[in-house]
Chain A
């Protein structure tokens, strides 16, 4: 799992499939897709990609934490975290052990 697939590999693979589009168009398109997803998520929008999964923000309540070095108690603010729920097809295809 250390040989992760990167964005540029995906752009290469897509431009092989979309030969009439040209590399730059594919590159811009992938960037536009990712920007759009990030903008939406950062603004608490909902993303639902059928067969892939959905992304939402989840609220985390404020809580008391500890500084791991000093052991001192610190108050942690409430915050939001990104949550990805894989879709059915994704779950089934990935779980192929």
Chain B
């Protein structure tokens, strides 16, 4: 069974800034919101984002491909689109590689 780790959310990150760095609650909440907005708007502008120590967000352009409605079986093409992918940086990847689960 996986360990009961609390889900990290914007609220829990803000809590962390409030407790560890002494920002007031308003500032902490705003900063967390603005941080994710900066990353998102960079990606929206077509720029990749490199966060050393964590990982990189990259954009990929996918061309149209044939698809199917899984319920009806009807064929409908999946339109060309731009998607975001995440790759952990070296440091985080090494930590994930070391993770062996709980067995």
Min CB distance, B97 to chain A, in Å? 6
* Contact indicator A44/B3 (Cβ below 8 Å): yes
* Contact indicator A33/B17 (Cβ below 8 Å): yes
List 9 tightest A-B contacts by C-beta distance, closest first: A84-B86, A42-B95, A45-B5, A4-B48, A5-B42, A47-B8, A93-B44, A34-B54, A46-B7
Q: Mark A78-97, 1 if CB is under 8 A from B, else 0.
A: 01111110100111011111
* CA A38 to CA B98, docked complex, whole Å: 13
Which residues of A are found within 8 Å of B27, using beta-carbon distances?
Answer: 18, 20-21
List residues of chain A with CB under 8 Å of any chain B CB.
Answer: 1, 3-7, 10, 13-14, 17-18, 20-21, 25-26, 28-38, 40-53, 55, 57, 59, 79-84, 86, 89-91, 93-97
B1-47 contacts to A (CB < 8 Å): 2-3, 5-10, 13, 16-17, 20-21, 23, 27-28, 30-32, 34-36, 38-44, 46-47
Which residues of B are found within 8 Å of A49, using beta-carbon distances?
Answer: 9-10, 36
Task: State the interface size on chain B (CB cutoff 8 A).
Answer: 62
**Is chain A's binding surface mostly helix, strand, loop or mixed?**
mixed
Does B53 reach chain A (CB closer than 8 Å)? yes
* CA A53 to CA B39, docked complex, whole Å: 12
Among A31, A44, A96, point to the contact of B82 (Cβ < 8 A): A96
Min CB distance, A29 to chain B, in Å? 5
Known contacts: A14-B34, A25-B23, A90-B43. The answer to whether A97 contacts B92 by CB under 8 A is no
Which residues of B are found within 8 Å of A91, using beta-carbon distances?
Answer: 83-84
Among A34, A46, A47, A59, point to the contact of B101 (Cβ < 8 A): A59
What are 13 A-to-B residue pairs whose CB atoms are below 8 Å?
A1-B46, A3-B47, A5-B42, A10-B42, A10-B51, A29-B28, A33-B32, A34-B53, A47-B9, A80-B101, A89-B40, A91-B83, A94-B44
Among B34, B38, B55, B59, point to the contact of A94 (Cβ < 8 A): B59
